[in-house]
Amino acid sequence: MRAVEILERVKNIRVLVVGDLILDRYLYGNVERISPEAPVPVVEVEREEVRLGGAGNVANNLASLGASVYITGVVGDDRGGDQILSMLKERGIKPLLAVDTRPTTEKTRVVSRSQQLLRIDREERRRVEGRTLKKIREVIMDTDCDGIVVSDYAKGVITEETIGAVKSKGVFFAIDPRPVNRDLYKGADLMTPNEKELRAMTDPLSDENVEVLGKRLKEALGVKVLVVTQGPKGMTLFKDRITHFPARAREVYDVTGAGDTVVASLVAFHLAGASWEEACELANVCAGIVVGEFGTATVRPEEVLRELEKG
């Protein structure tokens, strides 16, 4: 079975993730009453959970598929930074991080009965500079890897300087983009915007279809391969020709982090020797698995094979 061969080869690849690390914090509880202070629900917190988000989730997905993974980015000298470091090490990911004066980026989600009630963001989005930038550039240049994933959440890590270091490395590199940094992505080997990001990077007011806009963006940025994710409509591959892959999800529960899973799995399978068509088929399976779970999630090889056996 071809999928078995590809998944086995993933164990031999080394990937460096460069980007914005985020700590995803979840507060789970019950709502039994409305506050007497204001017309808002009172959540009685029963448990708290932390997960790797942003670039950390990309790295976690790569590691879960079996790749050897390194990661660089920024954390603060705080509890959140310590938690990210601890989780990375637990998952066998090599953290090569810069500790900055800014706080660790955190997204806290308040959840009751599987329904997200509120999200609280703690972040500072200024561009990295000085010793922090120097550390990240050194990691990029010194890390021996087969490919790089740039995970851009527009929190300040992805700049002209960091992208310049990535490009000068001379290895395969993929970008999960944010429209605000569009012009930094020229010449990428792979870019994976969702449909909303695609439209923002081409013409937000246009009613043209994904095929037209994707071809325009690919040509404008000189991207070698473009994969546009479209939620329940699947994904579209732009290479020498355009190929659409219907979604594989049986039930969409939560799309949080699905884009991280897609870029991680596409890179893992491509570096393992899969054709882009094979990589998209397998990435579609991976995306279908994670959207069936709440919050950021990862996929193991045995889950992929199990889904493929189901047809």
Q: What's residue 204's pLDDT?
A: 87
Among the listed residues 100, 152, 176, 260, the single catalytic one is 260
- Give the domains, in start order, of the chain with CATH numbers: 2-310 (3.40.1190.20)
Q: What's residue 206's pLDDT?
A: 86
For residue 300, give the 3-state DSSP assignment: coil
Q: What's residue 209's pLDDT?
A: 94
Q: Confirm if 51 and 22 have CB atoms less than 8 A apart.
A: no
Is residue 152 flagged as an active site residue? no
Q: In Å, what is the CA distance from 107 to each residue of 162, 183, 193, 210? A: 24, 27, 21, 31
Low-confidence ranges of the chain (pLDDT < 50): none
Q: pTM score > 0.85 for this model? A: yes
For residue 199, give the 3-state DSSP assignment: helix
135-185 pLDDT tens trace: 999 999 999 999 999 999 999 999 999 999 999 999 999 999 999 999 999
- Round to whole Å and give the CA distance between 32 and 30: 6
Q: What's residue 254's pLDDT?
A: 61
268 bridge partner residues: none
